[in-house]
Homo-oligomer: A and B are copies of this chain.
Amino acid sequence: MKFQIIKSPSKGTLDMLIRRMGTGNNKDLISTDAVGLVQGMMIDMICAADIAEKAVGVTVKDIRGSCPQNMIMIGIFGDTASVESAINEIKDSLKKEKDLC
């Protein structure tokens, strides 16, 4: 599993991500402070998404669009502290291995 946090992402970067979501109205994400990215196997990304969803102050998105391939990346949008906190919760669960969810 791989993690990245982009602080103050450029508009072009957010456009790339939003274009890959494919569903719903995600325009408000363009003014996000930070974005956390998590990449991994689909089964783990569903768990990571669930952990992040239960964290506060972040919006979680499946970065893939409507073509149902292997979901390999989720984006976690919010202010920098909330994104970092959500990423840390995923990393903490990961340490307790075989027990991510």
Q: Could you tell me which A residues sit within 8 Å of B by CB distance? A: 2, 4-7, 9-13, 16-17, 19-20, 22-23, 37-39, 41-44, 46-47, 49-50, 53-54, 60, 62-73, 100-101
Contact = CB atoms under 8 A, between A and B. Distances in A.
A49 B19 contact: no
B46 A16 contact: yes
A4 B43 contact: yes
B50 A13 contact: yes
A39 B50 contact: no
B9 A50 contact: yes
A101 to B, nearest CB: 4
A49 B16 contact: yes
